[in-house]
Chains A and B, each alone.
Chain A
Amino acid sequence: MADKSHGLIDDQPIIRLENVSVKYRMPQERIGTFKEYFIRVLEGKIKHRSFNALNNVNLSVNQGEVFGLIGHNGAGKSTLLKLVARVIRPTIGRVIVRGHVAPLLEVGAGFHPELTGRENVYLNGAMLGFSQAEMHEKFPRIVEFSELGDFIDAPLRTYSSGMSARLGFAVATDSQPDILIVDEILSVGDEAFQHKSFERIQSIKAQGATILLVSHSMNTIESMCQRAAWLHRGQIVTMDTATAVVDQYLGRVSEDESRQLSMAGHAELPGGEKEYKPIEIRQVRILNHQNHEQQTFHTGEGMQVEIEYLAHEPIDSLEVGIAIHRQDGVHITGPNTAFDGLDIKAPPGVGGVIYDIPSIPLMEGMYHLSVALVNRAGNVILDYHDQYYFFRINNHGHDVHERYGVMTMRGEWHML
């Protein structure tokens, strides 16, 4: 496969996929032993289920382009990257890749904990296909970029995860590849390292490399890629400019989410009607400042959480609380009426409170909202919807400069 160019003209795309399908053929049940296998063969009972990881994909990426791939997990993004990295071959179709492909590995893939940083650099370089002479030449630069200093001669098991991430990244990106494959690598390591790797990728890009980028961050896709493709169930849904594809993708995502939300709204609330509650949460709405229900906000936008309750008996000292969790479970905040000195006497019937957030400080992501009604007398939870509501922060198309972390402090910079 390493034949010299067979007369491919220079303005042809650097990566081309023609009618590519990848079909994984999986036994329907896992057959792990010989005995079982032979019994099945004799019975003629081996059934295979084929699973199309990619289905008739056509794709061209030009030299110097930064091309983004988006889609849900299992949509075929990684399979596509593997085809380009020639780790797997297509079941049907043709893959043409021109030039040296450098894949960015997950942190520490191929590293051995007992070897020193130095030994690992040479081993890793060899795995990436470099010769001894090349590795000797690269070594000082790699050490410098990784900022490991004297640690380079310590065994890798003594490194922090950030240190091995830096080292792995330094080895993979030291040379100028023709094609760089980046699979969510920007989300590892500490912030400083993320920034540094971001800059390194920019400089590789500036020198004319083609980059294939998979990311779940629409900001990254939009800010780095010229074009992008949206993969869904092994097929390309849209291939266009990155902005257009991200727009479409987010449109669909928020549609899906609204549908989920309204379905959830009709579903029976937790606890159901069976159990008697002196007071219950009747309705929770997440509104923008125009009083419209909304699921997707951007950082800095105003938000109101409207909570309606129905009291079946008078509650003398009601406390209404909410909690916001990031999708990964981090508890962001938990304001309640008692903290803010609001004492609620709820007579029987419908009542409600609004929690007004003038400007959401949260960065991009999915957030869950919990609502609780508590009787302050005795501190009894009367009704509780645990992470039952959600909203998304998406800064796409909005003037938000900050990129990292959970929240913005809305600080300002001044010259000293």
Chain B
Amino acid sequence: MAKRVGIEVSVAVADAVKLVNADIVAAYPITPQTHIVEHLADLVADGELDAEFVPVESEHSAMSVCCGSSAAGARTYTATASQGLVLMHEVLFVASSMHLPIIMTVANRALSAPINIWGDHSDAMAVRDSGWIQIFVENGQEAVDNTICAFRMGEDNRVLLPVMVHLDGFALTHMIEPIIFPEHSEVDKFLPPYNPPVSLNPAKPVTMGALGPPNIYTEAKYAQDVKLRESKKVILEVWKDFDNTFGRSYLPVEKHHSDGAKVLLMTMGSFSETAMVAVDNMRADGKDVGLIKLRLWRPFPFEELREAVKDADVLIVLDRAISFGGPGGPVFSEIRAALYGLDKAPKVVGFVGGLGGRDISTSGFEEMVTKGIEIAHTGSVKEYEMFGVRE
């Protein structure tokens, strides 16, 4: 029987890593991911998790160790945030290009400067093009479930790609929530042992990451992109099987009263919970507003997004990251690109807000929707609206 316990989400994520029997954990503690790593170190030291814990000297080393251990065929986990994620930037591309299914929790946090330890999505967006599968969760249960799912998605021999599970720093990592834990035996059944087709083995030597000169590099990168795009099929399959096994469903684009709504709000991560309440309030006031929540960021769910917004006239997208000097927030500009050229598409209005841990309340989301509708009708000379900025 599954247990429902009140637990800090970071500790719960570490317990999920125990449930999947990770072989190697190589991580460097950084706020707000620290409790995940600390608890994993405890679990290994106490003999509760039969894994090698590698206390590395930096995140660059953490990801490098992960590449080695995953290449050797070990089930590999790490976690980081913010500056740590951007320090491992170089090695992230190596992990995905060499098809090493490392699973990483990212406790999303703002990037310096000014130094800020609180949540936003600027770290996640900075590694958008690193070739990893990227999943955003909005509460502790989703964090635990998707940590388990991530191992099965990444390690599937049709995929063999690393996966980031993004949960907002503090707003999720440091919350105590009621979480249902599956039994170890159930997870063992859901997640088969990692069995890569090729690994580093002296008995059967291989070379990984060799030179790719101009005459093959284009083909290599195209093959990698095809693999990431095709992984969506397996991602959907894993979520479906998770639903059948554990009774909790996950979709690339989640809907909340969005079908048929003329105005849609779109959020990612923990803000989605607040936005749901805001949408419920607005609907109670008779407003035709719905919410869509983008869970799968890479591979980008084009079909699901287009389907979810097909009835809407206005789509208001909230980014928790800035693309400096660019066409608005990264999510907003991608959504607009995904809908461009369709016969019928909503007007897309971009907001940037919730930066560096600044909260947006339900009334804030209501204000954003009102302003978004106004901009959709009157137009704006600005690329995006900076929500809540003092002028």
The reply to whether chain A is a binding partner of chain B is no
